Amino acid sequence: MQQYKKTQNKLILVLVGLPARGKTHISYKLNRYLNWIGYKSEIFSIKGAQQNNDQLDQNIDYELEIDPTNQQFVDFRQQLSFTAAHQLVNFLQNDGDIALYNGLTSTKLDRQKLKSLFKEKLKLEYQVFWIESICDDPQVILNNINESKLSRFKEKTIEQFMNHINVLAQDYESLENIENLSYIKLINIGKLVKVHMLEGYLCSKIVSFLLNLHANNRQIYLVRSCQTEYHLLDKIGGDPELSVTGKQNSQQLGDYFIEELKGNKNITFFTSQMKRGIQTAEIVGDKLGIKALKTKNLDEIDYGICDGLTVKEIAAKYPKQIKERKANPLEFKYPRGESFLDVIHRVEPIIYEIERSREPVLIIAHVAVLKCLYAYYHCNQISEIPNIDIPINCVIKLVPIPYHCLESRVIIK
């Protein structure tokens, strides 16, 4: 697997925080990102352990509904938390690279116990990084409950959730330097961030990533550049200009976005540095009254020696390569060109840009590049990338919401 740097050590990311502080959201986002850049990463949580255990009542939220007087509840919770931790250890002992832990971590004692468990059970080099989410903005907490808790437990009310949280808050202990842990504290969704004893390439990357996260559910539009003469000739690659039809379609795209964006000029607008990308973006941009930022990172995958050939010509000239590509489409690298893995690496800064943006994002690019971007939001495995369908003259609208991503496609006629 090609990664920028393979971790020598296994990495454990432990989440800390009261319920409705976005821990699950953060772990979900991080997990998605880490898998996308090529690490084998998984989340281990009380919820997960509960779902795997058929004997338990799935309607109870063991993370949240703690009644200190009900010893059975307390015990179950402990048990689930330990189960999750053991599953985590197992995962890392095998071929897992990074594990995220969302279990009992609210008190100093809990954390010490967890540290000891890892020390005792993990028979290899590992690093632990603690991620605490703190929130004292009641509006944000309310939003979190509405978006993520109520949908799962329909008989509960907001009041009941708030009561549960208050019970848990009484024993909650925030991370302190004296515990000698390497950590990041995110306070009120990144308004204030505290980092302590940051070490290592991967943790550094994770911190950079976390700094860009926010909770705005804004739209992301992925569009291919419009038709070129190469399309008509069935050629791949090259740097052709738009055909007449392509220009017309770009106009229609522009019209679509005028309606869709409703006059919002603050959008994040990117395109590649290839002629077809620039031209499509210019026509669309003119209609919207905004200019796209051109970046080489969004250029189409480099087809190497196959650049400019038709599909038939490639099949005739390079049958060996075609076979190789069929066998392993994700890692296949066009000779003197790139593989999908290279494209993912190249496109990573764009993902940061998209994550950071709190306004709608519009990206006009090319098939392979868009497959990689799409996969970040939608796929659980990057092996699915080569099979993603990104049709021309089609606007793919993605709206990331907690734990999920809404998608809609509109064909522009």
Partner 1 sequence: MQGCNRSQKIAICTVGLPARGKTYISRKLNRYFNWLGYKSRVFINGNYRREICGTECNSLFFDPHNEEAQKARSDCAKMALQDLIQFLKNGGDVGILDGTNITKERRHQIENELKSSFNGIQTLWIESICNDSKVIQNNIRLTKINNPDYCNMNSEQATIDFLNRIKMYEQIYETITDDENLSYIKTMNVGADIIVHQVFGFLLSKIVSFIMNLHTYPRPIYLSRHGESQYNVDDRVGGDSDLSQLGEMYADKLADFFYQEFPTKEIKNDIIFLTSTMRRAVHTSDVVAQKLEIQPLQLKTLDEINVGICDGMTYTEIAQKFPNDFQERKINKLGYRYPRGESYLDLISRIEPVIFEIERSRQPVMIIAHQAILRCLYAYFHQNEIPEVPTLDIPLHCVIKLTPAAYFCDEKRVLINPQTGEISIKEEYVQEFVRSKSKQKSFIDL
Identify the residue whose tokens are 């990206």.
363
Binding mask 275-304 for partner 1 (x = CB under 8 A): ------------------x-xxx-------
Decide: is 342 part of the binding site for partner 1 (CB under 8 A): yes
State which of residues 323, 336, 404, 409 lies at the interface with partner 1 (CB under 8 A). Answer: 336
How many residues sit close enough to partner 1 to count as binding (CB under 8 A)?
33
Judged by beta carbon, residue 117 or residue 195, the one nearer partner 1 is: 195
Decide: is 218 part of the binding site for partner 1 (CB under 8 A): no
Q: Considering only 149-157, 221-229, 343-351, 373-381, which stretch makes contact with partner 1 by CB under 8 A?
A: 343-351
Give the closest residue to 396 by CA, choosing from 219, 229, 254: 219
Smallest distance from the beta carbon of 353 to partner 1, in angstroms?
5
Smallest distance from the beta carbon of 350 to partner 1, in angstroms?
8
Query: Residue 353 annotated as binding?
Result: no
* Helix segments in 173-274, DSSP class H: 201-211, 229-233, 244-261
Token representation of residue 191: 């308004």
Cβ of 199: how many Cβ atoms within 10 Å? Answer: 10
Q: Alpha carbon of 160 to those of 64, 116, 254, 346, 400: distances in Å?
A: 10, 34, 48, 47, 28
Kind and range of the H or E run holding 158: helix 158-171
Decide: is 225 part of the binding site for partner 1 (CB under 8 A): no
Smallest distance from the beta carbon of 355 to partner 1, in angstroms?
10
Please report, as a single letter, which amino acid is at residue 282: E
Query: Residue 276 annotated as binding?
Result: yes
CA–CA separation, 251 and 261 (whole Å): 15
Counts for the chain of helices (H) and strands (E), in that order: 14, 12
Judged by beta carbon, residue 336 or residue 404, the one nearer partner 1 is: 336
Q: Give the alpha-carbon dihedral of 159, 164, 169, 173, to 10 degrees.
A: -150
Judged by beta carbon, residue 194 or residue 317, the one nearer partner 1 is: 194
Smallest distance from the beta carbon of 207 to partner 1, in angstroms?
7
Decide: is 1 part of the binding site for partner 1 (CB under 8 A): no
Query: Residue 409 annotated as binding?
Result: no
Decide: is 177 part of the binding site for partner 1 (CB under 8 A): yes
Judged by beta carbon, residue 64 or residue 184, the one nearer partner 1 is: 184
Binding mask 189-208 for partner 1 (x = CB under 8 A): --xxxxxxxx--x--x--xx
Q: At what angle do helices 23-36 and 340-356 cross, to 10 degrees?
A: 150
Instruction: Evaluate whether 287 touches 255 at the Cβ level (below 8 Å).
Output: yes
Identify the residue whose tokens are 């990463």.
41
Query: Residue 301 annotated as binding?
Result: yes
Classify strands 41-45 and 98-102 as parallel, antiparallel or unpaired: parallel
Query: Residue 278 annotated as binding?
Result: no
CA–CA separation, 137 and 113 (whole Å): 30
Smallest distance from the beta carbon of 196 to partner 1, in angstroms?
5
**Radius of gyration, alpha carbons of the chain:** 24
Residue numbers 344-363 binding partner 1 by CB under 8 A: 345, 349-350, 353, 356
Interacting residues with partner 1 (CB under 8 A): 4-5, 177, 191-198, 201, 204, 207-208, 211-212, 239, 268, 270, 293, 295-297, 307, 336, 338, 342, 345, 349-350, 353, 356
As annotated, the binding site for substrate includes 276, 300-303
As annotated, the binding site includes 276, 300-303
